[in-house]
A and B are shown apart, each in its own frame.
Chain A
């Protein structure tokens, strides 16, 4: 319950990839360029994307507001965004 318990960047990245694989099992994470647009590299529709966000919420406990979706463009951007959110609210239930 202390702020030092926030997961590492590697841990967050792992959770991101796991959530992605759950909605799109055919994705090969090693074939995805983490710096480039996720939607351009995968066939995610809006339902998939919502399920991806739900998956992140389930594994990391971070509720991502809809208004922040534009910040979730690539795996790198998502990781950076989530780290920032977890520092803000390290102990969200």
Chain B
């Protein structure tokens, strides 16, 4: 959004307003937006008249803020682009409250439709309205509820709850965890040759993806460097005796989950492959088990399919490390004194400096590399 049209003033000069009062309505490409006032005081002067289209950031009115000298008038900004709408929090919202939104969408909803939406857990802010004057009817809610349940889809209210959960976990991570980052380019030539030969023997449903080799190598390396596998607690680092690899899975409707593959270090490759396929399918269908969601001890994120070179991740607290992989592709590498094209992957580590130091982190990445050079023993 770059501009909006001021369609209506709800206040006039001399009116007293409280912080949070709605003072005007601005029409944007996406929705009618109620403009909330950010401070308590008295409207001094209207700057933008009704019907005028103005760029984002334009001063709409002058406000005499309570307790300040009369000269100090503050502008009312046009709500900025992408300001989050504020749907009613779903009943099972995560603990973290959403950031105070600067704007909220104005919805016309019949009381019956609102009640029904609450019962069904439908987010009214995304329901297409067909009623009079753009209002949401009971029928619209029913349709949105049905449309919100396609195979592999996530209902909008769940998607927004997920967004908040991710926001809470990632904010906590960046606030509390002193991350350090390392990376290492790993030659994948041997591993891929081995895998190609292996897959040629397998039927289509039994084939193994390169990502599974990466997962197994991480799980085995975590045995050698246990400082990467476990949780940071009030009492300090608590290593985990089991290696439950969290796998970052993006959902088609947006958002991501990081369920665990239990005891990944002990699973042979074919079993790890079926576990991964099953986990991805169930994650996207929204049917994960609570244990999978709650207990990863170390997480792996693989964004290579998108074509990114590398990923430097944010650790999921209370875990203490996150391994990232970029695209597996041919890159120039020096072998026996000559530059040759070789498939490689950029492996990265984000680790918690409270639990480990760069030296151990380095040993961890080197161990992953060494394991991938002997794919037959994975």
Contact = CB atoms under 8 A, between A and B. Distances in A.
Nearest to A45: B305
A50 interface: yes
A69 B280 CA distance: 21
B323 interface: no
A45 B203 CA distance: 20
A47 interface: yes
A64 B152 contact: no
Interface of B: 150-153, 196, 199-200, 203-205, 207, 209-211, 252-253, 276-277, 280-281, 305-306
Contact of B199 (A45, A57, A66): A66
Interface of A: 24-26, 43, 45-47, 50-51, 53-54, 57, 63-67
A26 to B, nearest CB: 5
A46 B211 CA distance: 9
Contacts of A63: 203-204
B277 A47 contact: yes
A53 B153 contact: no
B193 to A, nearest CB: 12
Nearest to A57: B204
B41 to A, nearest CB: 47
Given A26-B153, A46-B305, A47-B209, A65 B277 contact: no
Nearest to A26: B252
Contact of A47 (B205, B253, B276): B276
Contacts of B252: 24-26, 43
Given A26-B152, A43-B252, 13 more contacts: A25-B150, A26-B150, A26-B252, A45-B305, A46-B210, A46-B211, A46-B305, A47-B211, A51-B281, A53-B204, A64-B204, A66-B200, A67-B196
Contacts of A50: 204, 207, 209, 277
6 contacts: A24-B152, A45-B305, A47-B209, A57-B204, A66-B196, A66-B199
Nearest to A53: B204
Contacts of B200: 65-67
Contacts of A47: 209, 211, 276-277, 280
Given A25-B152, A25-B252, A54 B280 contact: no
A65 B277 CA distance: 19
A64 B276 CA distance: 21
Contacts of B150: 25-26
Nearest to B303: A45
A65 B199 CA distance: 9
Contacts of B276: 47
A54 to B, nearest CB: 5
Contacts of B152: 24-26
A53 B202 CA distance: 13
A25 B211 CA distance: 23
A54 B204 contact: yes
B349 to A, nearest CB: 22
Contacts of A25: 150-153, 252
A28 to B, nearest CB: 12
Contacts of A54: 204-205
A68 to B, nearest CB: 11
A45 to B, nearest CB: 4
Instruction: Return the 5 tightest CB-CB contacts between A and B, nearest first.
Output: A45-B305, A57-B204, A25-B152, A25-B151, A66-B199
A42 B182 CA distance: 32
B207 A66 contact: yes
Nearest to B195: A66
A69 B300 CA distance: 26
A50 to B, nearest CB: 6
